[in-house]
Amino acid sequence: MALIELAEGVRMVSNVIGVPYDKVRTGMPVRLEFLRTDPDLELPVFRGGEG
């Protein structure tokens, strides 16, 4: 779990995927993806990436 701050200033708690937990850093660029947990529910997650 991580505290994500969007460019608009909104903050939200979500998961960061695609990066080992010990490599997640403050200020790292992320992009939004949606994770389908069942047919009726998709959750926002953020994929760590290069800037």
Taking only the tens place, the pLDDT of each residue in 5-28 is 999 999 999 999 999 999 999 999
Instruction: Quote the CA–CA distance of 4 and 43 in Å, as a whole number.
Output: 14
- Cross-strand bridge partners of residue 38: 41
Rounded distance, CA 14 to CA 46, Å? 7
Q: Are 24 and 30 in contact (CB under 8 A)?
A: no
Domain count, the chain: 1
pLDDT value for 49: 82
Mean model confidence pLDDT for the chain? 93
The predicted model scores a pTM of 0.83
CA 23 – CA 44 distance, rounded (Å): 20
Tell me: pLDDT of 51 over 90: no
